[in-house]
Structure 1
């Protein structure tokens, strides 16, 4: 399955959750699924519930199905609880770090910043959004990257409050990882155990 490029607000309504990594737009009053039957109470199957939780992660972090499956396998092999480790691995992607540091309005935009080499990772330009950050790593923007209109706007008004696991130097426009993020610091509600159960019978 390829990376999602369709209507963002529509998919958030279908999932019933605002995904800050996907869009800055709020659900507002139309916080029910799209379509003519969206306001009717429809009971979801056990499979449907688990699928929705998995889709929240995949869409918020802008991953393909193949990418999230690979992360799940890695999380499953670790000594930590699978669900918690999976969330940590997702939060530790470079593109997500760029987003959470306030350099981009969404994770989607952060990915583009990285791909176009507007991000300096530990002082060097990189173009791989999946680079895994570690404590002590720093990021900043290139001179050209700092002039991008969406970046200027986001720096003035970040989409989210910067998390406690990074420190931000406003004068230098530099963000540093102070520790690895915890599973409870994901910026949207997700029942990760449902995701674990979804993949347990498929991987």
Structure 2
């Protein structure tokens, strides 16, 4: 998957909201779009509004456009509301679960733990960031990284909001999926109906 390596605060300013999984920084000091005319008032088109909501999900969960389109297709085929199902599928990604459990301070950092083989699901090593967790499964870090300074910093960071659908045990560096996430599980404001509308014209 292509990885975004550009300025993160600039992206969040363009989207108009903080994305906790994307960057630890915030846009409160300059809460307006970047660029020379960032503070000027602009009337947004319907397309631009839908695009912004879609980009929030893409950068907020660290997925590529191809991955997001595939998830949208899958959500559209489910019996649940497409928007709600899309949020559920994104939240159940293993890299996001590691982040929401508080074992990493951002989703890219969580993805690195997963890809390096430091994360187990029900005792089995899983090194695929897009792996989808299910209710009842236990996600844990291998003892090798328990003293890693980045992991310890994440564990001690009280600004990381743990997901209500996870039962986290910081002592054993593990978390159990107690329930399935829903449309309110996202850490940032997003109008999922706008995202559905964006893809309805393109799928």
- In the TM superposition, residue 148 of structure 1 has moved relative to its aligned partner by 2.3
How big is the shift at 1:162? Answer: 1.0
Aligned residues: 203
Structure 1 spans left out of the alignment, 5+ residues: none
Residue 149 (structure 1) aligned with residue 133 (structure 2): no
Shift of residue 161, structure 1, vs aligned partner: 1.9
The verdict on how the C-alpha distance between 1:45 and 1:2 changes in structure 2, with shifts beyond 3 A counting, is: farther
Partner of 2:139, secondary structure, is strand
Which deviates the most, 35-44 or 190-199?
Answer: 35-44
The Cα of 1:42 is off from its aligned counterpart by: 1.1
Q: In the alignment, what sits opposite 2:178? A: 178
Task: Indicate how the Cα distance of structure 1 residues 78 and 185 shifts in structure 2: closer, same or farther if over 3 A, else same.
Answer: same
Give the whole-Å Cα distance in 2 for the aligned partners of 1:65 and 1:22: 16
Cα deviation digits, residues 56-88 of structure 1 (max 9, x gap) = 000011111000000000000000000000000
- Where has structure 1 moved over 6 Å in runs of 4 or more? none
Summarize the alignment of residues 2-81 of structure 1 with structure 2, pairs less than 5 Å apart.
2-81=2-81
> Secondary structure at 1:120's aligned position in 2?
strand
Unmatched 5+ stretches in structure 2: none
**What CA distance in whole angstroms lies between the structure 2 residues aligned with 1:26 and 1:146?**
28
Q: Secondary structure at the match of 1:51?
A: helix
| 2:165 is the alignment partner of 1:165 | yes
- Structure 2 counterpart SS, 1:50: helix
SS at match of 2:111: helix
Q: Distance in 2 between matches of 1:156 and 1:123?
A: 24
**2:155/2:170 contact within 8 Å kept:** no
Kindly indicate whether the alpha-carbon contact (under 8 Å) linking 1:106 and 1:159 is maintained by their aligned counterparts in 2. Answer: no
User: What is the TM-score when the length of structure 1 is the normalising length?
Assistant: 0.96
CA distance in 2, matches of 1:115, 1:87: 23
- Report the more deviating stretch, 148-157 or 9-18: 148-157
Structure 2 residue aligned with 1:199 = 199
Contact 1:12 1:18 in 2 (8 A): yes
RMSD: 1.2
Q: CA contact under 8 A between 1:87 and 1:186: conserved in structure 2?
A: yes
Contact (CA 8 Å) 1:2, 1:65: kept in 2 or not? no
CA distance in 1, matches of 2:52, 2:59: 10
